[in-house]
Amino acid sequence: MENKKIAQIFQEIGDILELMGENRFRYLSYHRAAQTLNSLSIDVRQIYEQNPKKLLEINGIGQGLADRIIEILKTGKCQEHQQLLTGFHKGLLELLTIRGLGPQKVKKLYFELEIDDLKKLKKAALEGKIAKLAGMGEKSQAEIIKAINEHEKNSKRVLLHVATFLAEDFIKYMKQCPSVKKVEYAGSLRRGNETIGDIDILATGTDKTEIINHFIRQPDIETIFSQGETKASILLTAGIQVDLRVVEEKSFGAALYYFTGSKAHNIHARKIAISKGLKLNEYGIYQGTKALAGKTELEMFTTLGLPYIPPELREDQGEIEAGYSHNLPDSIELKDIKGDLHVHTEASDGQNTLEEMVFSAQKLGYEYLAITDHSPHTGITHGLSGDRFLNHLQKIDQLNKKLKNFRILKGAEVDILEDGSLDYPNEVLALLDIVGISVHSKFNLPAHQQTTRIIKAISNPYVSFLCHPTGQIINQRNPYDIDIVEIARAAKKYHVALEINSNTRLDLSANNVRLAKLQGAKFVIVTDAHRLDQLTWIQFGIKIAKKGWLEKNDILNSLPLNKMLTYFRTK
């Protein structure tokens, strides 16, 4: 798909225009178009080839932007982009990727310290030069150093959903090899970590050489790092390393267990094996030279006297002790989810129509779907107010009349204002079945003030759940400072659920989920889908829920509709 390439060009045009102090409407139009193209589920070239005029039907794409899309599709370049780059310090664009650095600060750093790339920024910060600038100070300098370190770390890791889709495609490719009998991915990806450094794949089969050769012929390879009799390592054009190990069938379960990890879990398991007079390694569990287990993971656990422990729990955070005491959580599964409660349509900043989102949800086997388009406070999301809002609700009512055994819930994602009040008044909230509330502004408030703000919003009797409670966006924005324990206690008190956002936020995190559960909070697992394919991303929220030790009865959208609504309405 060429959407990403065009989106990157548009993002850079918008960034340069903003740094040059151009008209706000102009640079925002490019930023919005970039966001739209990045989230578009269909290849923009396909739209163009069907009918160029259909480009104008893409949200936020006018004739000027459509012309530039066509130019890029035809030539691979955009003349405006090339002209803007001429004489422009491209390193300034990279500075904008550092958390906390907006256009005004970047311009200040450039004009006062001649900083035009990350290397110079880091050097100036470490030498204390940034702290001396007016309006910056020691605190700002320390935050910049921290943000640079995060950037350097995160730039080498990819998001869970990206790595999952790449791994699944690779597994499908490997299954095309006649010699492959079993193939699975392992490592931190299998454990459901938020970001992934590389993809570990294990295979077993009849001809190791053929399996290795098939692996290194994968069409999306950028570089082959190594190739041996049982191992190979490559770099995909997507920028992530994939390592293959071909193992004996009798050891496949042991290898899958060992290479899934975590390291801390494996060390704990080996100590238990030693205490029983056994040896545990990637080939199996042995008593002397006799193999006791290895073919399956279940054999490995059973030999240690343990029940099967799901990969997401294997972090040596009490899961082994819980296994021995029969206290492992009865983890939530995809089949338990009855509906999605956080979905956007083209009425605000989504890419698809109400009907398209509803019909896709029905295909997933859901019983209900909440449409939660934005309130108007954050202008970039095209939030609903006035007649647009009322017409939107009327459209939902009309579609509901045509549906059988399925309910569309009238909802909204409502901004929490700085004082903790909500962007819609109570008389508007009363028209809705579901109300999600979100912080979309003033991220840098002190922890006490931010916590007080959120708790005040939670106390509103019409609120159902708190969206992306800490505000994190993986690899882009850190959580804001809040007291999650106090917020979880307030959520329990006011019968408000905490959201596990399955999109690129993965918010709450697994650690915060576990902490909030200890306070008695309830949760919803949602996608925050802005296009059709994102409805399936609920799988990633489920992984976070598992890592946070949640069970089915902790998740409100595992309940039938009436029971779920009763919880929210009991205030």
- Please write the tens of the pLDDT for every residue from 116-146: 888 999 999 999 999 998 888 898 899 899 8
Backbone angles phi, psi at 409, to 5 degrees: -95, 130
Q: What is the CATH number of the domain that holds 311?
A: 3.30.210.10
- As beta bridge partners, residue 408 has 369
Q: Give how far Cα 148 sits from Cα of 15, 178, 445, Å.
A: 19, 47, 22
Q: Please state the pTM of the whole predicted model.
A: 0.81
Cβ contact 410:459 at 8 Å? no
Q: For residues 316 and 376, state if they share a domain.
A: no
Residue at 137 is within a domain: no
- As beta bridge partners, residue 231 has 245
Residue at 94 is within a domain: no
Give the residue from 310, 336, 340, 333 showing the smallest Cα distance to 536.
340
Q: For residues 418 and 516, state if they share a domain.
A: yes
pLDDT of residue 259: 98
- Please write the tens of the pLDDT for every residue from 442-484: 888 999 999 999 999 999 999 999 999 999 988 778 899 999 9
- Domain containing 316: what range? 261-324
Pairing of strands 368-371, 339-343: parallel
Residue at 62 is within a domain: no
- Please write the tens of the pLDDT for every residue from 79-91: 999 999 887 888 8
Q: For residues 318 and 224, state if they share a domain.
A: no
Q: For residues 265 and 234, state if they share a domain.
A: no
pLDDT of residue 46: 84
Q: For residues 348 and 480, state if they share a domain.
A: yes
Q: For residues 438 and 409, state if they share a domain.
A: yes
Using pLDDT thresholds of 50, 70 and 90, give the confidence band for residue 388.
very high
| Token representation of residue 323 | 């296994």
- How many domains in the chain? 3
pLDDT over 80 (residue 39): no
Residue whose entry in the numeric block shows the structure tokens 């995909």: 236
Q: For residues 346 and 320, state if they share a domain.
A: no
Backbone angles phi, psi at 298, to 5 degrees: -60, -40
Between vectors from CA 377 to CA 374 and to CA 381, what angle results, nearest 5°?
45
- Which of 12-16, 196-200, 279-283 is predicted least confidently? 12-16
Q: What is the CATH number of the domain that holds 234?
A: 3.30.460.10
pLDDT over 70 (residue 179): yes
Residue at 474 is within a domain: yes
